[in-house]
Each structure stands twice: as C-alpha cells, then as structure tokens.
Amino acid sequence: MGATESGPSVAVVGVTGAVGQEFLQVLSDRDFPYRSIKMLASKRSAGSRMPFQGKDYVVEELTAESFDGVDVALFSAGGSVSKQFAPLAMERGSIVVDNSSAFRMDESVPLVIPEVNPEAMSHIRLRSGKGAIVANPNCSTIICLMATTPLHRLAKVLRMVVSTYQAASGAGAAAMQELELQTREVLDGKQPTCNIFKQQYAFNLFSHNAPVLSNGYNEEEMKLVKETRKIWNDKDVKVTATCIRVPVMRAHAESINLQFEKPLDEDTAREVLKKAAGVIVIDDRTSNIFPTPLEVSNKDDVAVGRIRQDVSQDGNHGLDVFVCGDQIRKGAALNAVQIAEKLL
Ligand SMILES: NC(=O)c1ccc[n+]([C@@H]2O[C@H](COP(=O)([O-])OP(=O)(O)OC[C@H]3O[C@@H](n4cnc5c(N)ncnc54)[C@H](OP(=O)(O)O)[C@@H]3O)[C@@H](O)[C@H]2O)c1
C-alpha cells in the first residue's frame, strides 16, 4: 500500500531518534497506507534529509502548526514534548499515539496493547473532527503483558513478580552509542566515557536509571505496577518489579513469577501461549534453548520460555516464565503502529 490518496496523513514526531527510526521501518514493513508523511524533530535536526520508501524527505522543526491537516501523529520525542505538543495536535483534530509516559495514567486516555485491550480505544475515530490521545504503554509493561495476558485470561493472575534485564536501546540512540564506545574503551584498557549513564555500563549491570521514588521503587518499576492495573482493568492485581539495565544492545528480557486464582498447569500454559497472537514459545529443555534478546532483536513477536510450575506454590497455582521482546519494536514502534492500524 504505502503512499495512497485514501490513507491518513501521518506525522512522525522524534523521527531522528531510536523509536522514530523504527516507526519508519515498521510503517514500511507493514505497508501502512498514508496520503502524506511529515518528518518532525527538534530544531537541531531541522533541514536534514530523511529517506523513506524511495523518497527523500526534509526533517522539519516541530511547531504547533506542524499538525495542520495531520490525521495520525506518532509521538516519540520524550514526555515534555508530548505534554506540550500532543494537546495542540489534538486541538487540530489529530489522533496522537504517544510513546512517552506523559498521558499513560490520565483516566481519559486509553492505554492500549492491541492484542490485550483494543476495546479501550473503540470510541476513537479517525477524521471525526475530534482529536484524541492514545498512550502506548511502557516497553517493559508491553512485553510482560503480551506473555502473561493469555494466562491471565485463563486462570486470573493474583500476583506477579517481575525482574527485568533491560537493553541500552531502551534509553535511546545515544545510550546504544555509549555502550558500543565503552565496550571498545574497556577492551583497549581506557577509562569508559560515561555521558548517558553515571556508571560503567560495558561489562557491568546496574539498577535501572529511572529516578528512585520515596517508596524505594524506581519509576520504571512503578510503571509496571500501575500500567498493568490500568490495562487489565483490575485494580486488585498485585505487581512488584525490580528493573535492571544490562549491557545488551537491543531487546529486553524479563523473569516473571505468577500466582493464579485458578490452577494452571505448565502444559496448558505452553499450549495457550503457542496460540497467542504476537507470541512465540521457545522452550526446549533438552537442548537448554530458551528466549534471548539477540533472538528477538528486530522481530515482532515476544518470545516466552522456561515455562515451569513454581515449586514454591501448591496446587498448580504458580508459574515461572522467561520472556524476551524487542522493546523498540513491540515495546514502542510496532505497538504504536498497530494502534494506528486499528483506526483505519
Ligand atoms: N527507546 C525505547 O525503547 C523506547 C520505548 C518506549 C518508549 N520510548 C519513549 O520514546 C521517546 C523517544 O525515545 P528514543 O529512545 O527514540 O529517544 P532518542 O533516540 O533520544 O530520540 C529522541 C527524539 O526526540 C526528538 N526531540 C527531542 N527534543 C525535541 C523537541 N524539543 N522537539 C522535537 N523533537 C525533539 C529528537 O530529535 P533531534 O534529533 O532533533 O534531537 C529525536 O528525534 C521517549 O519518550 C521514550 O521514553 C522509548
């Protein structure tokens, strides 16, 4: 499909960034129909060239006027840009799909994973004259809920304990460059450059760099707690999380322990996950082959493995799983484009 008169006019905000670039890749891969496309970023990149589907576009500086005539605006330029410009885009009738955390917990804004809760955005219509914001959940939440929702639907999750192993790409293009640079520096016996993170990242790991709150959790961990409740529309589900940055270039991993209301055995769980949209099962105990970040990098599906009964819980009421997902793709750009597809 690609460029077509019947498609919506699209704007990509933050197009020069890690997620922005992935937006273009995903729009292309999925043959997303569009009448026109605007490439928007900060003043710093205005005027630079951006090739897309055989055409050369010029990156424009983001202003309120950027959204005149725009049907769908895909935002990935950080929370403060979203807070300032998403309402302006909405006023002009655009449907904003926002990747930042700015509006996720706003009661009037649907927080959507299309495979999980598409009904939350069913009232939003393209070109109705009424703009809207749909929020893309945090990348760790998306990857976690892609794997756990099929099990939750069957046996109802009462409590979930999540430990994450998060890649550099989650912190943007500059963090990926810094990990590469540091790796070279350490191997050359030099002091590693620490501009993005305060400590050595190469050959190390550390608690997620999100600010730590007064309850001792960091913001990334609390996103998992709060966003799960909103997406599952279940204020009682108990979630706790520990989020760690690991020196992986791209794709997050998560170890998830689940406690269910109803019994669920591991064979049934494996079969349910094999049939779930957007999920693949990699669970080869004989060869010790399970999901890895490298395996899922640049791929759409979230991989689940290590599916096993939790021996600390009686009566098949607990399971452990290990999950990997490309957080720039399903954790950000792909999920946002799938939201936009729901509007077509
Ligand atoms: N990386 C991920 O896996 C991931 C996952 C989910 C959500 N997100 C969210 O997506 C957003 C972007 O993340 P990223 O990883 O793509 O970051 P990034 O690689 O640092 O890219 C940031 C983008 O925002 C643009 N930008 C910055 N300030 C701007 C301004 N004042 N006006 C217009 N554009 C501006 C930058 O343009 P210039 O090139 O002109 O500076 C660049 O295109 C963040 O809110 C992040 O939390 C990221």
* C-alpha–C-alpha distance, residues 94 and 11, integer Å: 10
* C-alpha–C-alpha distance, residues 169 and 175, integer Å: 7
- Cα-only R_g, the chain: 20
Pairing mode, strands 302-309 and 279-281:
parallel
* C-alpha–C-alpha distance, residues 209 and 196, integer Å: 10
User: DSSP letter at 168?
Assistant: G
For Cα atoms 25, 298, 255, give the angle at the middle one, nearest 5 degrees: 135
* Residue 41 φ/ψ, nearest 5 degrees: -155, -165
Neighbours of 229 (CB within 10 A): 16
Complete DSSP assignment for 33-87: -BSEEEEEE-TTTTT-EEEETTEEEE-EE--GGGGTT-SEEEE-S-HHHHHHHHH
Q: Is the CB of 69 under 6 A from ligand 1?
A: no
What is the amino acid identity at position 140? S
Q: Is the CB of 83 under 6 A from ligand 1?
A: no
Place of tokens 């709060």: 226
Ligand 1 centre to CA of 88 (Å) is 18
Q: Does the pLDDT at position 77 exceed 80?
A: yes
Structure tokens at 29: 């891969």
Q: What is the mean pLDDT of residues 183-190?
A: 98
Query: pLDDT per residue over 119-161, tens digit each?
Result: 999 999 998 889 999 999 999 999 999 999 999 999 999 999 9
Alpha carbon separation from 320 to 166, 285, 307 (Å, rounded)? 19, 14, 6
Structure tokens at 273: 């996950």
Q: pLDDT band for position 2 (50/70/90)?
A: confident
What residue owns the CA closest to ligand 1's atom 32? 42
Structure tokens at 333: 């750009």
- CA dihedral of residues 38, 41, 47, 48 (deg, nearest 10): -90
Is 243 within 8 Å of 220 (Cβ atoms)?
Answer: yes
Q: Does the pLDDT at position 340 exceed 90?
A: yes
Q: Does the pLDDT at position 259 exceed 80?
A: yes
Ligand 1 centre to CA of 155 (Å) is 38
pLDDT of amino acid 66: 97
Catalytically active residues are: 139, 252
Is 16 within 8 Å of 45 (Cβ atoms)?
Answer: yes
Q: Is the CB of 18 under 6 A from ligand 1?
A: yes
Query: pLDDT per residue over 28-70, tens digit each?
Result: 999 999 999 999 999 999 999 999 999 999 999 999 999 999 9
Q: Is the CB of 79 under 6 A from ligand 1?
A: yes
Ligand 1 centre to CA of 99 (Å) is 9
